[in-house]
Homo-oligomer: A and B are copies of this chain.
């Protein structure tokens, strides 16, 4: 007989960006970050403990996972197995309800859901910081999908990462902003964000300046979210985004995740704002542009984005919840 659990988590979009690790194995960041979870970019993950298996299995959107992905799965399962005193293998399936590997941080939702589903399958009860740290071991930004809503990942200083997890700044319904994810290209990235961070930290003369800027922007963004100050949050978010991408341009070899349409969306957002439409953008380690706006103008922003040459689609989302158990299993 197998024990089985499923969990659902949302992707999250960083407003103050995470860029650079002080410990690549544990995904310990050099800087703190602040994010919003997105209700409509969800992952469901089911974990079943199956003593008949001779190795863990992992299927992502119905396809068998790579050896690297299985390795990350093992890193998350290991502490749970130790704690539960279990050795049996697991079958894991995960389904993303949005395009994967295109700067949309599907791994964040996936590892947050995995952490909770696996803990539940092993019949372990972890508190939120424990779950957040566990998700972080799979994918750094996944720790922010655990509390969901408006969340802050505290960089921490502990070499083992005990103080490096995310907490909730405000619940999803604190501020009904909408995020329009402008899809520019959905193919796999040329350089993964892990390698991109490592290259930036090791070779970009801008990295010290990046850290200095984040330290200034974190309290600004935190206060702006709590005060629902759209303009201040937007300025801080665009600053953080452009500095992250600027720091990459300084690396050897340089990192440029943008496509022509990425520039087109950025310029359009600046133009719309001049015209009085409240909106701001952020861009992760990929070509897609995420545009934030108040719910009242979301339809207008979405319509305008679809007219930009090179934008192949727009996915709208509101603020999302933290990770939660699901009664609907994938298998």
On A, residues with C-beta under 8 Å from B are 204-210, 212-213, 238-239, 242-243, 245-250, 252, 254, 256, 258-264, 266-267, 309-310
Contact = CB atoms under 8 A, between A and B. Distances in A.
Contacts of A246: 206, 245-250
Contacts of A258: 263
Contacts of A212: 205
Q: How many copies of this protein are present in the complex?
A: 2
Given A205-B210, A206-B246, A212-B205, A256 B252 contact: no
Given A206-B206, A209-B204, A256 B263 contact: yes
20 contacts: A205-B208, A205-B209, A205-B213, A206-B206, A206-B209, A206-B246, A208-B209, A243-B249, A243-B250, A245-B249, A246-B246, A246-B247, A246-B249, A249-B249, A256-B266, A260-B260, A260-B261, A260-B263, A260-B310, A262-B263
Given A208-B209, A242-B249, A245-B249, 11 more contacts: A205-B212, A206-B210, A206-B243, A206-B247, A206-B250, A242-B254, A243-B249, A249-B249, A256-B263, A259-B263, A263-B263
A249 B254 CA distance: 15
Nearest to A256: B266
A305 to B, nearest CB: 15
Contact of A243 (B205, B262, B263, B310): B205
A285 to B, nearest CB: 15
Given A246-B247, A249-B243, A238 B263 contact: no
Contacts of A209: 204-209, 250
Contact of A250 (B242, B261, B309): B242
Contacts of A243: 205-206, 249-250
A213 B250 contact: yes
Nearest to A270: B256
A242 to B, nearest CB: 4
Nearest to A287: B263
